[in-house]
Structure 1
Amino acid sequence: MKTRIQELRKSQRLSQAELADAMEVTRQTIISLEKGRYNASLELAYKLAKFFGLSIEEVFIFEEE
């Protein structure tokens, strides 16, 4: 699944570590999300969307395979 996390994070001048701290996850989780190697849980997807003031659909781009 593709995400806009890196774009959104950089627009707010946040490091991966800062975003990870805000989401209460590891920096490695943020890296994996940004690279599309990990699909966020619904809880984490909601927290990220709320953090950026967007809907889940605006943060995560679902593409059927």
Structure 2
Amino acid sequence: MAMTIDADLCTACGDCEPVCPTNAISTRKGLYFINAEACTECEGEFDLPQCLNVCTADCITPLD
């Protein structure tokens, strides 16, 4: 499973990018996105995805 960012809710604060242990979060044309192939939901490193811990816009959710 992987996480995803809802671009309509994201404020582009950038807080999520540096906490991602797999470097799955990056920007494209000023919008943040998560590479689903690289995202591990921090499994094996943290109890919860670190992006969820820092996102104040609540725009990050599990990918369906």
Q: TM-score, normalised to structure 1's length?
A: 0.42
Larger helix proportion of the pair: 1
Q: TM-score, normalised to structure 2's length?
A: 0.42
